[in-house]
Amino acid sequence: MQYPSMPRATRWVVRILRPLFMVLMRRDWRGAEKLPQGGFVLAPNHVSHLDPLFISHFMVDNGVVPRFLAKDTLFDVRVIGPIVTNAEQIPVYRGSAGAAQSLRAAEQAVLDGKAVTIYPEGTITRDPQAWPMTGRTGAVRVALATGAPLVPMAQWGAQQILWPYTKVPRFFPRKTIHVRIGDPVDLSDLRDKPLTEAVLREATNRLMDTLTDMLVEIRGERPTGPRIDVHTLKHRTHYQEG
């Protein structure tokens, strides 16, 4: 197949991993026609350490170069560090100054016409049933600052291969990776307002509500408990498979 123009490191990773993914997993991908042309922010829910790879598979096969905000510590890991650097991923640094620098880099990439994937939760969900948590404001901040579309992506299936915070993947029997792309989140009433905490929180709540509703359509069920607040994660340490 024809791939979009992409960094050499990304191209080599695709050549190695895509054939394996085509054999190991089934794909239920819908809504790719809703992906905008030009720069945009892609905002997926986060259910597994593996889902960036499967999201990238979806993006490459639909003509979008994968570009993520990734933890800065990955850039220092032997072998992985040079790959993510040469694949033009964007490091997320700890601390307010570093975080602001990361978002400025993401904003510039979007303004340059690139798609940037930002997990609004900022980490893998800690919900016992893998529902989305409350979100952080980075994804909506970049979308509002640039005027670019904020595109929700609901994805499900990676957690069946590698459950959050476990280490042994289970590829067999073959799992199905579900992906849904939604219409851009309507932020039109917020576009001309200062980026206050209240505005960012309102936009983020809309995004997380949208992601939850999209995931309900995939799973055929609704959450039974309240949404976990990402700011209380240090108090939650119990997870279960399901």
Residue 151's contacts (CB-CB under 8 Å, 6 or more residues apart) are: 34, 35, 36, 40, 41, 42, 43, 181, 182, 184, 185
Q: Give the mean model confidence (pLDDT) for residues 222-233.
A: 92
Q: Is 25 helix (H, G, I), strand (E, B) or coil?
A: strand
Contact of 138 with 69, CB cutoff 8 Å: yes
> Does a structural domain hold residue 241?
no
pLDDT at 236: 42
4-20 confidence digits (pLDDT tens): 688 999 999 999 999 99
Burial class (CB in 10 A: 0-12, 13-18, 19+), 4: middle
Q: How far apart are CA 85 and CA 93, in angstroms?
A: 14
Query: DSSP H helical segments within 130-187, as ranges?
Result: 138-146, 158-161
Tens digits of per-residue pLDDT, 65-95? 999 998 888 888 888 899 999 999 998 876 6
| Bridge partners, 152 (sequence order) | 43
Residue 81: count other Cβ atoms within 10 Å of its Cβ. 13
Q: Is residue 209 part of a domain?
A: yes
Which domain range does residue 38 map to?
Answer: 25-67+101-228
pLDDT at 237: 39
Model confidence at 102: pLDDT above 90? no
Q: What pTM did the predictor assign?
A: 0.92
Q: Which of 44-53, 96-105, 108-117, 190-199 has the lowest mean pLDDT?
A: 96-105
Query: What are the backbone angles phi and psi of residue 63, rounded to the nearest 5°?
Result: 80, 20
How many domains does the chain divide into?
1
Q: Say which range, 78-92, 118-132, 179-193, 194-208, has the weakest mean pLDDT.
A: 78-92
Chain segment 174-189, per-residue pLDDT in tens: 999 999 999 999 999 9
Which of these ranges, 49-63, 91-105, 181-195, 211-225, has the smallest mean pLDDT?
91-105
CATH number assigned to the domain comprising residue 206: 3.40.1130.10
Is 50 domain-assigned?
yes
- Going by pLDDT thresholds of 50, 70 and 90, the confidence category of residue 31 is very high
Contact in structure between 13 and 124 (CB atoms under 8 Å) = no
| 16 is a domain residue | no
